[in-house]
Structure 1
């Protein structure tokens, strides 16, 4: 599975080297097209949470919308930010200024998402974040031009921490990937654990490039914690979970909690390694008939089930295009106003709404990874535990650090 993803990623990167422009019709759009940019990780460590999946989802939304808006063709541009903020910022400026891109989507990697959100503000474009999770995007990093759509660190920590504390697991230890997202996830989860009457007995931060987690696992194993919470994503998270299994953290009585778990992570790990893990998610392909229908269409194109980033990329692109049509223009502030005004009702969210801080509020879901014996098919990996209503899932506006929020 991992090797296949890497091969697909390399092939996809090669295709991008030949051409970074895609349209609904597969040809270069004429002048005057409405241009959407997909700025993502094509072949790096976050590519299986974004990359070709995000491009496929956004292109699906464009195709399902009809390939045109305001009587203009819709053109999709794609670039690999290589997980380098300077590359992302330069590309975003080029797209907004020279290519007249009106919206940039996906933006995996929280440091990059925060930087590009500011570029969107400066250039009066729109940035819609689905790949990244830092709650700073709707806190001190909020802008009038950016939307945080699928999930964030507060909602993930809120669901998982509260469920485990409800089970009586109140002493926590954090294994945190040393980058913006990992820090935000640890910070949000720590605050929620303490507020719920729990305690944090320690934390260790490890470089995202590390492949040897042994020293970190020994520290976690020696802690008095009930829960070892892994705050990271991508291959960093997968490697950490594998190490936790090798060091017998679960067998020793500790609960391993994934604070950001993608369904592709569970598939790559296998149920034997991931079983019993509690996680919070915005989307699961097998939730209802609508999610299954979207998943079937996506799988036809990608050869795998969609995760919450894919679903969010599709839903937010469709919502953006509906807002452009309703506003009668691609001017950023007019479109942002319509996006806040129009409710989101699709397979991803029911009665979703975009607040003044840019947070798209919707229900979140707590799941438990199935044991191998309970799974009926390759992607049948979660048992439903609970629904967290949107107004409870995300940080309340009364606690927001966003300067756009009025008292």
Structure 2
């Protein structure tokens, strides 16, 4: 398989990177499927997103070809900069002018909701592998998108409920002040209270401008809560954990990373992060299949990075989308995003990152979720050997019940 890159967009300084990668493995004359990765290439989520996602999407194309079902695929990549107008503008141009069939990632919930509306308007596909707001498979569900990797309800009920049961029954929240942070705090607070715990307070900080969390952490300390829930992600989570450790807050409060991924923990360091609880559906060293996937993709990953849950979600969703497009025929898949999503829901899923699963009627991808605890430094063998398994939440229990989401696609 050969790959080339070329510029495809001209949107001035708003666009940090745009390119296309073309997999030439299909029979001549078959229409090319165009995928657009709309992610974070320069901001707080760049290591969880960025070029690692591109590597994993390419791996999905390669794995499908190796299995004997090659397709002609072109991949575009751009930076949304966590600005709704920029993200929506890129998505609209991709759908309208660049012939993009499916947009994926969009690891900003506010932008993802806008892209979901665009996909429905244009009858295209949106593979929501990066955003967390559970509204995407709730009140804002659509026949043109699927919600794949994680969501605020899943994260909240995984870490929140387990922590209360372990004695962490009083909480204070440090929350990124935008749609994702608000939804994550809301859903976690509901889970904490349902489990018998109490929320003693919260503080919100400007996103993505904040790097000094000292005043917010002092508010958390003054609350005398047992648990500090971090309703943020990426470098925000890293910096808030590091600063909490420096202030001695971790000696008095249990920290729970509500969307804290492996790369974040590595950036914190095991000393600062030890004992931190986090919920993820993927870990590279979880089982034989996740280790096999990691061995295949690692040579293509950015130097020094292992695949994260976000990267795995992109691989998983794209692989299922391409399998579906092959089953339908690429021309039919390009003709209607709505028909493609319906077929994705009808076909079972299976991949090395998440194992067997399915896409539910409301568009939610169903798979198991795992509660991990960060190892103490003495138990860490390599720089990416950071988790020990603290619990497993089976697939059907890990996700919000279908009847509670308010998705208008759900009948009865």
Deviation at 1:348, TM superposition (A): 2.1
Matched, 1:353 2:358: yes
Deviation at 1:349, TM superposition (A): 2.3
Aligned to 2:324: 323
Matches within 5 A, 1:7-26: 20-25=19-24
Distance 2:80 2:289 in 1: 32
Deviation at 1:141, TM superposition (A): 1.7
Distance 1:67 1:55 in 2: 18
Distance 1:19 1:387 in 2: 39
Deviation at 1:355, TM superposition (A): 1.2
Aligned to 1:9: none
Deviation at 1:89, TM superposition (A): 1.3
Aligned to 2:235: 235
Matches within 5 A, 1:248-263: 248-252=248-252, 254-263=253-262
Cα gap change, 1:17 to 1:152, in 2 (>3 Å): closer
Distance 2:17 2:231 in 1: 36
Cα gap change, 1:281 to 1:80, in 2 (>3 Å): same
Aligned to 1:11: none
Aligned to 1:132: 131
TM-score, normalised via structure 2 length: 0.90
Matches within 5 A, 1:141-160: 141-160=140-159
Aligned to 1:341: 346
Tell whether the 8 Å contact from 1:34 to 1:69 is kept in structure 2 after alignment.
no
Deviation at 1:66, TM superposition (A): 2.1
Matches within 5 A, 1:271-350: 271-302=270-301, 303=303, 304-328=305-329, 329-330=332-333, 331-350=336-355
Aligned to 1:7: none
Cα gap change, 1:116 to 1:170, in 2 (>3 Å): same
Deviation at 1:351, TM superposition (A): 3.0
Deviation at 1:64, TM superposition (A): 2.0
Distance 2:17 2:230 in 1: 38
Equivalent in 368, 373, 390 of residue 373 of structure 2: 368
Distance 1:308 1:71 in 2: 25
Distance 1:232 1:406 in 2: 34
Deviation at 1:35, TM superposition (A): 0.8
Distance 1:68 1:290 in 2: 16
Q: Helix, strand or coil for the counterpart of 2:350?
A: coil
Aligned to 2:65: 66
Aligned to 1:5: none
Aligned to 2:244: 244
Distance 1:97 1:405 in 2: 30
Distance 2:359 2:71 in 1: 26
Tell whether the 8 Å contact from 2:16 to 2:41 is kept in structure 1 after alignment.
no
- Consecutive unaligned residues of structure 1, counting only runs of 5 or more, are 1-13
Matches within 5 A, 1:32-43: 32-43=31-42
Q: Helix, strand or coil for the counterpart of 1:378?
A: coil
Q: Helix, strand or coil for the counterpart of 2:146?
A: strand
Q: Helix, strand or coil for the counterpart of 1:383?
A: strand
Aligned to 2:220: 220
Distance 2:32 2:358 in 1: 28
Distance 2:30 2:19 in 1: 16
Aligned to 1:167: 166
Aligned to 1:210: 210
TM-score, normalised via structure 1 length: 0.92
Distance 2:80 2:160 in 1: 32
Distance 1:81 1:335 in 2: 25
Distance 1:160 1:402 in 2: 24
Cα gap change, 1:17 to 1:365, in 2 (>3 Å): closer
Deviation at 1:38, TM superposition (A): 0.8
Tell whether the 8 Å contact from 1:69 to 1:325 is kept in structure 2 after alignment.
no
Cα gap change, 1:17 to 1:192, in 2 (>3 Å): closer
Distance 1:31 1:17 in 2: 32
Give the number of equivalent residue pairs. 390
Deviation at 1:402, TM superposition (A): 1.5
Deviation at 1:71, TM superposition (A): 7.6
Tell whether the 8 Å contact from 2:142 to 2:409 is kept in structure 1 after alignment.
yes
Aligned to 1:6: none
Distance 1:72 1:366 in 2: 37
- Consecutive unaligned residues of structure 2, counting only runs of 5 or more, are 1-12
Distance 1:25 1:18 in 2: 23
Aligned to 2:48: 49
Distance 1:110 1:237 in 2: 17
Tell whether the 8 Å contact from 2:16 to 2:78 is kept in structure 1 after alignment.
no
Cα gap change, 1:285 to 1:68, in 2 (>3 Å): closer
Aligned to 1:8: none
